[in-house]
Amino acid sequence: MEADFVIVGAGSAGCALAYRLSENPANRVILIEYGGSDAGPLIQMPGALSFPMNMARYDWGFATEPEPHLGNRVLATPRGKVIGGSSSVNGMVFVRGHAEDFNHWAESGASGWSYADVLPYFKRMETWHGGSAHDDAPYRGRSGPLHVTRGPRRNPLYHAFVTAGSEAGYPLTDDYNGAQQEGFGAFEQTVWRGRRWSAANAYLRPALKRPNLTLVRGLAQRVTFDGSRATGVEIARRGRVEVIRARREVVLAASSINTPKLLMLSGIGPAAHLAEHGIDVRADRPGVGQNLQDHLEVYFQMRSLKPVTLYSYWNLPGKALVGAQWLFARRGVGASNNFESTAFIRSAAGVSYPDIQYHFLPLAVRYDGRTAVRGHGFQAHVGPMRSASRGAVTLRDARPETPPVIRFNYMSEASDWVEFRTCLRLTREIFAQPAFDAYRGEEILPGADATSDDALDDFIRAHAESAYHPCGTAKMGAADDPMAVVDPACRVIGVEGLRVADSSIFPRITNGNLNAPSIMVGEKAADHILGGDMLPPENLAPWRHPDWQNNQR
């Protein structure tokens, strides 16, 4: 088994990489994936999103170590173990990130990754169905593999949420992925014709029709080297170990959890840590596995006075109806992820761009499908976007089959507590607006009595959950940055013929959900690997609140 390019991981970035690298029929590409098929309604039906994320068949089943600042709770860290990776088990929410996120990347050493540089790749990857042909035309793509749509927003609560934001004094936005992220408006989703439009459906299935792309099932164990040059990938499959050889390059796109693990098993990482586990050091890169970041969130839940929520379907006949509508017509509640309204706001005057995100859902329920209450309710998922806390992924032992040690170190910085309390108080104010008067019942969580700093802190400590956005564990930066793992062309520093292209390389977490920027990384990394011209930068100036220094809204 030999190819020009060997990619590890058929996830969000890996599928995009395989698609772009195999466009030239002269390039032979092998894509290695441990997970199985994504066929079947539990993955393909958007409304069933809570199932695959919690199934051992589709999920690696990772969990954190006890988190000391969250009452020593162990938090789930799902990652897709399936064709399409986490794009096959996620919530299908499409958020590019704010322009300033990428400008920060460039300023921190990832030159060539400013907003002007990445915007052409966001456009290349998408076919946008959100507006008329003229809406946000300079910002949106119309012919890419990834279909981006909006839910129908038939439920009145979606509109109540947006109206309440306006009543509270926040701006509205027609397209948070276009010129103006800040404000309340319609959410976007990777759903097309009622079906989950994962990276597997968008990129991999069309690419696999090409004779020069091969999908190989197996567990990647380590990268092989000849001196300092990567030559292939050792995999375990069918009870034996074999090497898939790379004539030109190996690319790791195995997730921000598995990519640093693979690097360390291959001798690239903090020298002392590798020595602890008897691994020969090939490149001493102290940043491997460090800089781990995530978004933490809580579910702010309210009872509904009117029976208009999705709880109407939370019974056997209701679920059967939803399933039948989807199976036979790709319509109804099952044809949407049901996150159809959102908001991005700033927590305080002097914050230059949004640092709080909302997912609004017309149901009071957890991500694992368990309801907090019997009866009708609605909720907003809310949390800060740019936590100062940092964690790490490290090796438990030197065996490839052993899960790594994951420590996010959530809420370890005092500023995180201040920001999170602000999130809760601003949410309570939004739900108190006249738009919700006809629907607003009692506050389920945190509960109307939780008003003091201590009470809110207790709630956060007991109820905060990961938004499932891990990143940053092989950060991109300048070649002379001791904590950088890859250079701005995604090349692993200290060796040759090896790159990383997934959310591991994010220097800092972006605003919102990470699927879109992860796919963008795959798209852009492909051009770096192929060595041709990059897409020309597009110097647009996205909207910023004109008086952000003095006003919170």
Nearest alpha carbon to residue 447 among 436, 435, 429, 459: 459
469 as an active site residue: the answer is: yes
Amino acid at 447: G
With tokens 């990143």, the residue in question is: 471
SS (H, E, C) 461-519: HHHCEECCCCECCCCECCCCCCCCCECCCCEECCCECEEECCHHHCCCCCCCCCHHHHH
**Does the annotation list 45 as a binding residue?**
no
Residue tagged active-site, from 359, 469, 528, 545: 469
Outline where DSSP puts E strands in 41-142.
62-63, 76-77, 126-128
**Does the annotation list 91 as a binding residue?**
yes
Contact partners, residue 488, CB within 8 Å, separation at least 6: 109, 110, 111, 112, 113, 476, 477, 478
With tokens 């399933």, the residue in question is: 323
**Does the annotation list 90 as a binding residue?**
yes
Is residue 185 a contact partner of residue 162, using CB atoms and an 8 Å limit? yes
Containing H/E element for 339? Answer: none
C-alpha distances out from residue 270 to 19, 132, 286, Å? 33, 51, 4
Is residue 222 a contact partner of residue 266, using CB atoms and an 8 Å limit? yes
Amino acid at 280: D
With tokens 């507006």, the residue in question is: 131
With tokens 């740019």, the residue in question is: 386
The residues assigned a catalytic role are 469
Binding-site residues sit at 82, 90-93
Binding-site residues for FAD sit at 82, 90-93
